[in-house]
Amino acid sequence: MPEGRSMCSGCLDTVGPVLRRGGGRLVRWFVLSLPIIVGLAVPASARELRVCADPNNLPFSNERGEGFENKIVEILAKDLGAEVSYVWWAQRRGFVRNTLKAGLCDLIPGTPADLEMLSPTAPYYRSSYVFVTREDGPDISSFDDPRLRDLTIGVQLIGDDGADPPPVTELARRGIVGRLRGFPVYGDYSLPNPPSRIIEAVAEGEIDVAIAWGPLAGYFAERQPVRLKVAPVSPQADQATIPMVYDISMGVRRDDEGLRGEIDAALAKHKPEIKAVLTEYNVPLLDPTGSRSP
């Protein structure tokens, strides 16, 4: 557009000769209609749903919008009449503090339902840690399986300091520590899909069994060149102290009860579509009793 001309200067160029021929009534019509014409030319500002997510963390999210959390957020945003804008931040220590609590975004998908740093929505899925083995490998579903003592076991290490996740604690309590292989959840962030390495190690025969978080394991197990078996850890919790099953919610700031209510309503309304997305990504889903969902 040439400098100094309004967006409707072309309108005047077009109707000027007509105005001169049509007289005052047409002039009055045009003046009264000008705000409508301009209003149609400038779309109303859409509501913005600001989401904080990891740009390299499939199957959950990535900057190309290929994760199941990306897909579910789009469902919710459509219900809210909002456009999604992302703040990309690697999920390391301080993620919530540096993003949501700092006011950079309004929503974090995929948070534990009991995370106290934020206000969680109602859970939108429940999953568990799983055992992953090759098709010709042993069927393992319990930490009490005696065969674990003779197998090379891959386990996930969580956090910058390599903290032990619940499965490692349970293995250690049983004295199964001699043949463990640690795989950092964060992995090499310069490569795509850094958490997938533990599942690839099963497929390549580097380890006999992996114990990994279910959504990650289910997604990457389906993408290996050999068939793998995925079995939820049983029981759900050992001695009722260390859970292997977790409810997953979305999180908003603790003072943002309005948005939490809207997200809760959208999650309930679109439950079938959300389950379809999770199923498409091979997320092992458990019902509230801990059994596999159909």
The region that residue 174 occupies, defined by phi over 0 for left and psi between -120 and 50 for alpha, beta otherwise, is: alpha
234 vs 244: CA distance, rounded Å: 8
Mean pLDDT of the chain: 84
Query: Is the pLDDT reported for residue 274 higher than 50?
Result: yes
* Digit-coded pLDDT (tens) for 202-236: 999 999 999 999 999 999 999 999 999 999 998 76
233 vs 199: CA distance, rounded Å: 16
Specify whether the CB–CB gap between 144 and 290 falls below 8 A.
no
> Between the CA atoms of 212, 107, 187 and 153, what dihedral angle is there, to the nearest 10 degrees?
-10
Q: Kindly state the DSSP code that residue 201 receives in the 8-state scheme.
A: H
Lowest mean pLDDT segment, chosen from 57-61, 169-173, 248-252, 276-280? 169-173
Lowest mean pLDDT segment, chosen from 89-103, 209-223, 273-287? 89-103
| pTM as predicted | 0.81
**Mean pLDDT of the region 154-173:** 81
Q: Kindly state the DSSP code that residue 169 receives in the 8-state scheme.
A: H
Alpha carbon separation from 101 to 88, 97, 105, 247, 256 (Å, rounded): 15, 5, 8, 22, 11
In the chain, % of residues over pLDDT 90 = 68
